[in-house]
Every structure is written in structure tokens, then in C-alpha cells.
Structure 1
Amino acid sequence: MKYVIGVDLGTSAVKILLMNQNGEVCQEVSKSYPLIQEKSGYSEQNPEEWVEKTIEGLAELVKNFAGNVEDIEGMSFSGQMHGLVLLDDEHQVLRNAILWNDTRTTKQCRDIEEQVGIDTLLKITKNPALEGFTLPKLLWVKENEPTIYEKATVFLLPKDYLRYRLTGLIHSEYSDAAGTLLLDVGEKKWSKEICELLNIDLDLCPPLIASHEQTGAITNEVAMNTGLNESVKVFAGGADNACGAIGSGILFEGKTLCSIGTSGVVLSYEERSDQDFKGKVHYFNHGEEAGFYTMGVTLSAGYSLSWFKETFAADVDFDSLLKDLNEVPIGANGLLFTPYLAGERSPHADSTIRASFIGMDAAHERKDFVRAVLEGITFSLHESIEIFRDNGKKIETVVSIGGGAKNKHWLQMQADIFNVEIVRLASEQGPGMGAAMLAAYGSGWFTSLQACADTFVQVVETYHPNPDNVATYEKLFPIYQDVYSKTKDLNEQLSEFRR
């Protein structure tokens, strides 16, 4: 039996999966590392922590592996998007990595819009200038840390830096590069035009390859420190959302992913490079070589439910909190919730908007609020699905993963609100699974990623929309949408009173 390793470099931990040719998870190792938050809005990490914890995790995996280590053939990566790692001419790290959830770059976003132009930016990169992306971070360093910027010879995204440290070779790949605001998404090349408009040296951008392409093998030092064989082939990998799509079988038109974690993502496969969503949803290169994907983000999806539990029901577990969900009718007896606890991303890129309960009265019980929270989260994700549909995309099947796939009533709610078939998977390993699949495909186990998915990704349950429920939600959804416009000005006025 042969094996591959999927390394998922997350924001709080690195998760390492060992998978065999049957698509079975044989081992799972996780190693955490801290965030560095020196000021409000700042979010950084020491890239050396990623390397140390990954080496530790790989060594633990090998130590507990009962087979022949020479049968571990390949390794690939998934990683947190948008982070900035700057290297000097000796490829030494110049400063801590600035992460995706760092919000210090509002000024730089406005500078990009002014100097590049919103229309030009959307035409080339398919995405608006948001604080999370890499380019605003690069401009922030250029403006605020000019000595560091002048020493920089290349920038890397987090998982690309980790891969460099394991192989000694510098590359990036299209799915992660698409989240920088420097990639021409349709042409799959760094944008010379944007670099020139912002006076950025094009040579700062690393060489680009496809997600399944080999980027060398592990170094002798890594082999010695982990116990892996030096022949382990290393493949480029992909952005976390692209790998999550691969690991969920979102590999052809009509397939969509709904992932509800702390934030929520609706991601749909796209075979065209010329769609124009006017920046309302994200549009990135897929880890599947010929594909793209559209993506809407709800910033406080699962977080809305965990916030409600910790604030109003700290003494119960989630199963108990949701046990009466189906006793409450659609619309939660006239109660609506908008999940804007930390602002919103899609379709409202608004850092000031905040959450609302609308329609409360004395007859409402805790179970009504719980249903309203779940409906509000699902409505927010549905806004992105409706944008997809309004632009001609077909949504035939939605694969639901994360917290939203752990309750049968919530799964049925998704089927009814999205008005589409919802499926749940047998094994839900997300981005780590996608990284392992890229290694399996790159190692020649399968002729395509889809052939790999046929073995690795198995559906165990399907939920079909109930026509009566669909009709009721279609009446409720426009009311939900109206809450944003009606509360936007109020929240802007209230912002000065927030701590």
C-alpha cells in the first residue's frame, strides 16, 4: 500500500493527514502555534513557527507509522490565503508574516482603487481591494517599513514559504496567487500592469506553477529531522478554499460547496474565466488546473451560533441547544437574525454593519432565537448563491461540510433555503484532504483529480428541498435582505459608541 501526506497550514495550527490509496485517513496530527497581535487590527505570525511545528508533526507521524516509510510517496499543501512573507536576497525572513485577518491596510486599499482604478482592478484580478488581500499588505510595508521593503527580493504566501523550507525551492501556484490582487486571474500570470501602476517590482512575485505540479523533493535535513525518505515528492498544493473544494469533490460545473465554520463559505466551480460578478463575490483560480471558482463569505457564520450559545446558553452543549429546532416553524415565529457580528464580506463588504434581531416579542423562547440564528446564517450564504444564479451559474448539488453538516434539521434548512439538493460526506477532512488528493494525483495514482475524488470523496446522505418550505422561505428571504439597508445608517451612527 502506498501513502501520501496532506499538510494544511491553518491560522491556529498545522494539520497533517496520512492517507492511503483507498482514500482512508491512516493518521492525523495537529500542532498549534500562536497569533501575534501587537495592536488592534494587527494579526501576525512568526513563519519559523510553521516550519518547526510541521517538522514536529511529520516526525510524530513517521514515529507512529507501522508500515514501510519508503511507501510514503508524496506530500502537498493547503494553506491560509493572503498572508505576506517577505524574504531578502539570501531568502531569510525579513519580518513576521502579516495574515489574512489583519485589517491595518484600509488606506492602502483606497490607494489601490485610486491608482489602479476599481474597474481595472476587477477586470484583471476579479476581486475588489479588501484589507485581507496580500497587495495592500505589501504596500503597507513599503510605506511604513521602507528599509524592510527595500531589502525584499521576493514575497511568498504562507504555505509556499513552508514548502520552500522543506524543499529549498521557491514557487507559488495559481489558486493562492489569485488571492494577492497581483494575479491576472484569467491569463494566469502576474499582472505587469498593476505592478507598474503601483511602482512594484514584478520580480518580487515568485515563479508560478499548477497545484498538482512537483516542486522538488524534501531536503536531506528535512528527511533526517522527520524520518521521511528523501525520495518523498513534493507538490505545489493550493489555497485552503481551493483545497477544500478538491477535498469535497467540487471539480465540475454545477457542484457547489457550503462550508460553515467560524466563518461561512459558499464556493462554486466555474469553468469560465470571463465571468463578471462586479466584485460582489470572490473569483479565484481553482486547484483543478482548468477551473476557477466563485466564492461568497459570511464572516460570522458558525461564530454567530457559538456566540449565542456562550452568551445565552453557556450551560448546555450544542446538541441540547439545537434539539428543539424542528419544533419551531419557519420564520421563528416572526423573528429574524442578521449574522453581522463582525461586519460582513459578501455581498456587503462592510466593516461597520452589525448584527440584528428583528421582530422580538415576549412570546419568543430560546428555541425561537436558535432557529432565527440558523436561518440568518443560511440566508446570508444564500445571498451569494443568488448572485451566482443571477449571473447564469447553475447550482445542481451543494456539498455541506463543517458545523452546518452536523445537524439533520440544519441540513434540511439549507436544502429548503438554497432550493437545491444537499449532500453530506462520509469523511470530512476539508483542505487537508484536498492537499493529499493533489499529492495522490501528482504521484500518478489517478489520471485526474476527478478520478481521485471518485475514490476519496463518498456521499453518505442526501437532503431534498421541500416545495412548501421553499415557498415559505422565498417570502421570508426578501425581508431578511431588507434588514441590511434599513440598519446600515443606524450602525454607522452607533460605531462611535463601540469599545
Structure 2
Amino acid sequence: MRKGYLVIDVGTGNTKAAIVTCDGQIISEHVMDTNYIYEDDMQCHFSPEEFWEDILHVVEQCVAEAKDIHIMSITSTSIRQGIILLDEQGKGIIGLPNIDNRGAYLESRYDKEYIYNKTGKWAARYFSAFKLVAYLESHPATSHQVKKIVSISDWIGYKFTGVLKYEHTQACETLLYDMATSTWSKELCELFDVDFALLPELVESAAKLGCVSREYSYLFPNTGEINYIVSSADTQVAAFGIGANVGDTIIIAGTTTPIISITKDFMVDKQKRCWSNRYIYEHTYVLEVNAGVTGLNYQRFKHNCLQSYTYEALENRYAHMDKPKVLVCLSTLDFATASPTNNGTIQLETPIDASLDMVDFAYGIILDIVCGIRRNLDVLADINGIIGPIIGVGGGLRSPLMCQLIADLTQKPLLIYEGYEQGSIRGCVLTCNKYNNVALNARKKLMTYTPKNNNWIEDYFVKWCDVREKSNESTDS
């Protein structure tokens, strides 16, 4: 009987459960959409208990299709910045995902300089403390019921084992974590007026949280005692999945596009043009820039406007395109100016080209992602020095066109390794392997995209930056 793991990967739009062998072969996989409740344009949440029932359903489906796999361990990763609030009995009160921006009104309240130097992050709505404080302030009648907060993936571990802890790479996304000491910060809790007792004990990635409780043993009829192994946040675990370590620069192309460099030291930028995070190893850190919402724009545009096209058919169309007819600026973060961008821009030359169609707009969105990557890589290089070859991971890099354009615009080789499209799942497998003393396979390179001389892309990028900056100015005003 082959050995493997149950991996649960919680994304922004959906959650994936998979049974995976120790060498990374996916045996069964099922996906469920997350049911968000939108209170208004800024606020959304989900029901933890309904979410858990949906997770159990996809887990059952996966296990039923993988009866020949001996499941040694379970693990989970999830979107950063998302949290679940628990009551005294440990029941989920509400889930606040990464896309919940209810704390935006708080951004002018706090000392931005102090928070950035302490946490390595902006005092911004994206992070969990802002969501928590905004919820507590808007629900005074029930706020006293909140006894603990936890990341989504750590909550899954809690549900399976009854043991509540908070993993470091998730904890650093709260703004309640001191990056220099790798501990919860009482000073930051006082600043946000958050009860320090809400914070669970911290735990390192690849540690055993506990054993799966008898309550859920029915899910695994052919397997004995199962360990639950702690995994890190989705960005860090995806980098780990392709073997990234100190000195590497990685593009993680998904719903958003984090671009990270792994360092030995905790660093901050005087101009606040990067975020600093923990990596999965103790005393190892991540410098991050991020183009914000990118891949999600492309997915939604295709779903809304190009349903008759497969992604492969779109790639075939792109292969016959040269200079784009549409300039698009839709990404939501600009680290060059240390600011969010709430306004999108689409520009066309006039008169409108007679052959213009919706595929041209999709092509423009891909170039928006590519330009966002280049702009942020320039910032990262300015902060952390010369960047060598870039490693790519994430489902967004299934597009050969986008990969080649990244290499062309950055004039750096883009290296793609085996398992890149399932980076989070592969990273979770390697995390379980680490705990179970299973030899970690060396990463295998699939493709190198070598930079080509492109006679229009640099000029296009300069124009894109100009449009991006003007869009920022209109946001500020």
C-alpha cells in the first residue's frame, strides 16, 4: 500500500482537497467554491461551520477515490490574512477572508511608522488586526463572545485535533507579531486595543499539532492513527514546494502575484516599498512586493466575456499577436509608491482598430500582470540588490506567453520547475515529508524561458508606468 497525505489548500475563491503520495503524485482531488456573504462593497465573511461541512464533503470524496493510499498525515495551507473568530467553546463565530476590507476606515488611526518597523508591513486593511478591530467595533453586543482568533489553515488543524495553535508565517500577517523576535507583541496588542489572550500559542511549520480525533476517524476507514502536521501560509509553502531558499527570487502567480526574495535577516525599507514576512525556517525571512489582484482579474474577465474560449484557444490567439491594441492597468497594489490602487484604467488608440475584439482586452490584462511584475522586481532589486534568474511558481504561469513576456521585459531567465502549477500542494507534501523523515526529492527543472529582444515591450512598459502613476494620483485625490 502506497503512503501519502491529505492536503487541504484554502484559496481565495475555492478550497481544494487532495490525496497526494509522498513523491507528489496527486491521486484524487476535489474542489469546492467558498460561499462568501457580502455585507457591502468593503465587507464580506463566511460561516466557519458551513465551511467545515463543505471541507468534510470534499475530503470524503477524495478518500473514497484513493483507497489504496495509506494516509500518514493531514496538513493544510490557506490564504494569508484570513482569520476565524472563536467563542469560549471553540465554535467559529465568523470567518473574515483576505478580501474582507472592513478595516479600511482604520488606516489613518494608527502610527504607520511604528507598525511598519515592528511588523514589516503597512498599517493597512489587508491585515488581520484591521479586520478584527473593525468587526469588534461594529458588533459591540457580541464582541465579548470572541475568545480566540486563528488563521484559516490553523483552524482546520484545530477542527481535526482539538489543539489550537498559530503558525508563524500566518501570525506575521496579523500585525500583532513582532518580526524581530518572532513572537506575539503585547505592545502591538495594546496599540490596536486587542486582548493579548485572544492569541493562541505559536507553532513552527512541519511540527506535529496532534492526532486526528476519533470524531473524524470515519473519514479514514483504512488508516489507523493519523498525525496532523502544521504547514505555513500559501505564499511561503508554494516557495518551499519548489525548493526555494536564501538568495532565491520567486514569482508566485495566482489570484495575486507576490514576488519574494528569501533572506537571512529581517529587513525593512525606509520608503516602505516592501513587506517583510517569516519564511518556513526559523530565523529566515521573506522580502515581498506584490502586484495585488492580478490573476483574479484575468479569470473573471475570461469567465464574464470569453466563456466560449478555452485557455489553450486564447494562447493560440495570443501567439499571432504582437504589440497590443489595448493598455490595461487593473492591478491593485503599487509598491513603488507604497500604496493601493483603487482605480483601474483601460486605454485605446482612436479611431478604434477595426479588428479589435475581446481577446485584445484579455491580452492587455496579461500584459498588465507582466508589467506589474517588472515594476515590482525593479523595486525589490533597489531594496535588496541585484536579482539573478527568477523562479516561477503558481497556476498563472500555465500561460507560455506570459512566461516569455516576463523573461523579455525583465531581461532575466525565468525558471520553471516540476510541480510549479501546484506549488502549495507540493509544498505541503514536502512539509509532511520533513516531519516524517521522508527524503525530499531534488527539484527538477522543466523549462527555462530565455529573454528575447522585443522591439516594443520596453516602450509599452514605460507608457504603462505613466498610466499607473496617474491612476495613483487620482486615487490619492
Using the size of structure 2 for normalisation, the TM-score is 0.90
Change (3 A) 1:179 1:60: same
Bigger mean CA deviation after superposition, 125-134 or 263-272: 263-272
Whether the aligned pair in 1 keeps the contact of 2:341 and 2:472 (CA below 8 Å) is no
Rounded to whole Å, the distance in 2 between the matches of 1:306 and 1:85 is 27
Rounded to whole Å, the distance in 2 between the matches of 1:257 and 1:306 is 18
Q: Do structure 1's residue 264 and structure 2's residue 257 form an aligned pair?
A: yes
Structure number with the bigger relative contact order (C-alpha 8 A, sep ≥ 6) is 1
Count of residue correspondences:
472
Change (3 A) 1:215 1:22: same
Change (3 A) 1:403 1:61: closer
State the match for 2:462 in structure 1: 478
Change (3 A) 1:308 1:107: closer
Amino acid at match of 1:350: P
Bigger mean CA deviation after superposition, 133-142 or 352-361: 352-361
Shift of 1:363: 4.0
Q: Do structure 1's residue 169 and structure 2's residue 163 form an aligned pair?
A: yes
Rounded to whole Å, the distance in 1 between the matches of 2:300 and 2:159 is 38
Change (3 A) 1:120 1:241: same
Whether the aligned pair in 1 keeps the contact of 2:267 and 2:287 (CA below 8 Å) is no
State the match for 1:89 in structure 2: 88
Bigger mean CA deviation after superposition, 95-104 or 346-355: 346-355
Whether the aligned pair in 2 keeps the contact of 1:4 and 1:75 (CA below 8 Å) is yes
> Could you tell me which of 163, 171, 175 is aligned with 1:181?
175
Quick one: percent identity of the two aligned structures? 19
1:224-256 CA-partner distances (Å, limit 9, x unpaired)? 344364521111111111122122332331231
Rounded to whole Å, the distance in 1 between the matches of 2:396 and 2:83 is 31
3-state secondary structure, aligned to 1:3: strand
Shift of 1:265: 2.7
Matches within 5 A, 1:30-179: 30-67=31-68, 71-93=70-92, 95-111=93-109, 113=110, 117-179=111-173
- Structure (1 or 2) with the greater strand fraction: 2
State the match for 1:497 in structure 2: none
Rounded to whole Å, the distance in 2 between the matches of 1:275 and 1:492 is 24
State the match for 2:328 in structure 1: 337
Matches within 5 A, 1:284-433: 284-306=277-299, 308-309=301-302, 313=306, 315-329=308-322, 331-332=323-324, 336-340=327-331, 343-344=332-333, 346-347=335-336, 349-357=339-347, 359-363=349-353, 365-366=355-356, 369-402=361-394, 404-427=396-419, 428-433=421-426
Change (3 A) 1:166 1:309: closer
Shift of 1:190: 0.7
Rounded to whole Å, the distance in 1 between the matches of 2:378 and 2:51 is 38
Bigger mean CA deviation after superposition, 179-188 or 392-401: 392-401
CA RMSD of aligned residues (A): 2.6
Rounded to whole Å, the distance in 1 between the matches of 2:360 and 2:438 is 50
3-state secondary structure, aligned to 1:299: strand
Structure 2 residues without counterparts, runs of 5 or longer: none
Amino acid at match of 1:285: R
Rounded to whole Å, the distance in 1 between the matches of 2:47 and 2:30 is 21
1:193-250 CA-partner distances (Å, limit 9, x unpaired)? 1112233221211100111111111111111344364521111111111122122332
Shift of 1:377: 1.7
1:381-440 CA-partner distances (Å, limit 9, x unpaired)? 211111110012443232334454223232211111122211233332121221222111
3-state secondary structure, aligned to 1:267: strand
Amino acid at match of 1:54: I
Structure 1 residues without counterparts, runs of 5 or longer: 447-451, 494-499
Amino acid at match of 1:352: N
Rounded to whole Å, the distance in 1 between the matches of 2:306 and 2:354 is 15
Whether the aligned pair in 1 keeps the contact of 2:267 and 2:276 (CA below 8 Å) is no
Rounded to whole Å, the distance in 1 between the matches of 2:270 and 2:355 is 40
Change (3 A) 1:39 1:309: closer
Using the size of structure 1 for normalisation, the TM-score is 0.86
State the match for 2:266 in structure 1: 273
Change (3 A) 1:85 1:304: closer
3-state secondary structure, aligned to 1:96: strand
Change (3 A) 1:359 1:401: farther
3-state secondary structure, aligned to 2:118: helix
Change (3 A) 1:272 1:148: same
3-state secondary structure, aligned to 1:297: strand
